Amino acid sequence: MKYDLIIIGGGPAGLTAAIYAARYKLKILLITKILGGIALTAHKICNFPTYQDVSGLKLMKQMEDHVKNLKVPIINDEVIKISKGFKLKTKNKTYEAKKIILALGTERRKLNLLNENKFLGHGISYCATCDAMFYKNKDVAVIGGSNSALTAALLLAEYANQVYIIYRKDHFFRADPAWVEQVEKNKKIKTIFNEQVTELKGEKFLEGVKLKNQELKVQGLFIEIGSIPDTKLSSQLNIKTDSKSYIITDKQQRTSIEGVYAAGDITNNSLKQIITACGQGAIAAYTSYQELNLSNKS
């Protein structure tokens, strides 16, 4: 079977694209490794309209239910290769499409320190929402200075005895003032500016971290230093990207390759938020629908 449209990625952009494409009555398929994407791990979202605050888990579950209610077929798999004619090979099967939307999102950036992989799941985590409850009455640290780092620290403070935020700058310049205010008021959170982790200490489990000018005894380290675009498929198609490997799109979410659109955090948009990912997903679906209609009439 050849699909009108295959959406690769199941985060906010991919799910919204699926909702719009389904209502356009296109023959579509959504392929994703994880339904909900990285948004699933957000502790608290306070800037999505209709909610004062909502967990990423709840919001993404509602989007997932919306897609399933429209009877969109969802394949939990990973696309590993795209060839000419838009033949998509996953780990288990091959699919074919007339159009493709890439909504692959981003991957967590790592520290690239010795023993980082060794301590993964043994003191190191990239998801406070997933692992905060395992650090009740323990001392932990968060690396980073963005909204994700501050909200991770606030969540950890609900469980941990002491939470350190380690940030290489001299102030929080990327985080929203509302989150900064909450962090500053929380007595369990201590911020250490102008520092960075240089060494991970411990045997089987993380026992502490060495900074440039001091050492901290912590049992948990949560890494929130941003993310990088997933470029495995865009590079196969030779899609044009910017200097940071984000896919360049026009206002209709078209990429440099005809028939391929991109939406969400994988694109070079300046505001990487759930709401903008949803908007781009909707536009990508609409553009693909229009162009499919034109090709069918010609």
Indicate which CATH number applies to the domain containing 74.
Answer: 3.50.50.60
Q: Identify the bridge partners of residue 165 per DSSP, sorted by sequence position.
A: 142, 191
Catalytic residue among 53, 65, 130, 242: 130
If one counts the domains in the chain, the total is 2
Catalytic residue among 131, 230, 265, 278: 131
Domain that holds residue 277: 2-108+227-297
Do 188 and 42 belong to one domain?
no
46 annotated active-site: no
Do residues 263 and 253 touch, judged by C-beta distance below 8 A? Answer: yes
pLDDT in tens, 55-85: 888 999 999 999 999 999 999 999 999 987 8
Whether residue 135 lies inside any domain: the answer is: yes
pLDDT band at 174 (very low <50, low <70, confident <90, very high): confident
Q: Nearest 5°: phi and psi at 100?
A: -135, 140
Q: In 118-178, at which residue ranges do the beta strands (DSSP E only) sit?
A: 124-125, 139-143, 162-166
Do residues 90 and 78 touch, judged by C-beta distance below 8 A? Answer: yes
The Cβ of residue 76 has, within 10 Å, a number of other Cβ atoms equal to: 13
131 annotated active-site: yes
- Closest by CA position to 281, among listed 6, 15, 5: 15
The token duo for 163 is: 């939470």
Do 104 and 231 belong to one domain?
yes
Do 181 and 198 belong to one domain?
yes
Question: pTM for the complete prediction?
Answer: 0.83
Whether residue 241 lies inside any domain: the answer is: yes
Domain boundary among the residues 194, 223, 252 is at 223
Helices (H), 31-186: 56-69, 128-131, 147-156, 177-185
pLDDT in tens, 6-18: 999 999 999 999 9
Do 42 and 86 belong to one domain?
yes
Do 201 and 291 belong to one domain?
no
278 annotated active-site: no
Whether residue 116 lies inside any domain: the answer is: no
The token duo for 75 is: 């394949």
DSSP category for residue 296: H
Do 191 and 237 belong to one domain?
no
pLDDT in tens, 233-273: 999 999 999 999 999 999 999 999 999 999 999 999 988 89
pLDDT in tens, 272-294: 899 999 999 999 999 999 999 87
